Amino acid sequence: MGQQEKVATSLAGAVGEEISASLAPVDAELARRYPGDPGTRQPVHTVYVPGDAFTADTVRSWGDEALAALDEHAPDAASFAAVLGLADYLAEPVHSRVRAKLEREPIEDLRVDFEDGYGPRPDAEEDATAARAARLIAEAYEKGTAAPYMGIRMKCMEAPVRARGIRTLDVFLTGLMAAGGLPDGLVLTLPKVTYPEQVSAFARLLAAFEEAHGLDAGRLGFEIQIETSQAILAADGTATVARMIEAAGGRATGLHYGTFDYSACLGVSAAYQAGDHPAADHAKAVMQVAAAGTGVRVSDGSTNVLPVGPTEQVHAAWRLHYGLTRRALARAYYQGWDMHPGHLPTRYAAVFAFYREGFEQAAARLARYANRTGGDVMDEPATAKALGGYLLRGLDCGALDLAEVTGRTGLTRAALEGFAAPRRGDLTASAQ
């Protein structure tokens, strides 16, 4: 052994204690504002169905329509891969997993729409539709036919439709309670939010419902839909969306980008209103930074180009949707909107290709990191967190199987979760 080094210090212990005491409020604020990702499954998409079009078999019928589109326009792995430009080694795994997904779980997240997709209706009609949605969703969860996540998008908190939106929400939630309680996968979406005060008002509304039914405080969360320029940049120059997360009081679960309302708000011509427009990129980047570390997740919007008509037209729409979805995934927008059953094949093809083509490298890097072995990339704890999250998302959506991930990494799911969601102190300490 070498010579024992003599260790000396100059600062009294009281100095460190005073520093820690002075930063205690900051420590508490960090823990409150930035708890990190909740570690739960994030759906890869949200499907919107108008309230009057939602039926007991909507989830299954969307899957059947998507399978029929595949059978008609890309009946085998080779033809589907040729349309999307998939590498040969991905053709069969992606195609077979897409078909299996459409048969087993065609929709991951469904929103019964009472806003733009439903429009203004007589009060009695909307009341009945909201009550019906509650009954059908409760029955679906009871029968095991529900999507993992389901809920409604009510009308917004602006004055002309505020009372109607509040009543629809009340009818829907009261119906769920009468049918046995709120399902674990319940999701609510608040659209066209412009001011943080609208968010805080909605949070108070949910708190009042919880109190009326004796529910735990904070049981009801909601997504905030970002569809106006004022939701990104306030009149005083601040990022409104960051203030909205705070205004939600811990209830915000997601930020959803509204492609067409937002771009129209900025005056973008209809022909150029798309998720890859520079204005869209800016808005989503602000949303992403505002949400980072808060546990609030960001979702991309939709495309209005539907894969319908002759095969050549369907293929063009598929390529567009596939490309937009892959682009979003590369930018860490792991969720988007799908507006038509024909979008499901390319949603899942893009997601599965994204995780399968990067699987080997990600698994190898995480295995080397976990085993402290060398390699051609020197990864840090933050990268290990990203690698763990990548593999978990691939598992959750069905792109990867646990057996192959464990076989390649030597890690159980619990171990992957430990890397993907370390405690703040663990991450900081391991980086030192």
The first and second tokens of residue 5, run together, are 């080094």
Q: 3-class SS at 282?
A: helix
pLDDT for 152: 98
pTM for this prediction: 0.92
- Mark the ranges of the chain whose per-residue pLDDT is less than 70: 1-2, 373-379, 422-432
Residues of the chain with CATH 3.20.20.60: 45-354
Question: Can you tell me the distance from the alpha carbon of 304 to that of 54, in angstroms, rounded to the nearest whole number?
Answer: 20
pLDDT for 429: 36
pLDDT for 376: 53
Find the radius of gyration of the CA atoms of the chain: 24
**Burial 388-426, CB ≥16 within 10 A → b, else e:** bbbbbbbbbbbbbeeeebeebbebeeeebebbbbbeeee
> Domain spanning 45-354 has what CATH number?
3.20.20.60
pLDDT single digits (tens) 17-41: 999 999 999 999 999 999 999 989 9
DSSP element (H, E) containing 228: none
Taking a C-beta distance cutoff of 8 angstroms, is the pair 374, 415 a contact? no
pLDDT single digits (tens) 237-282: 999 999 999 999 999 999 999 999 999 999 999 999 999 999 999 9
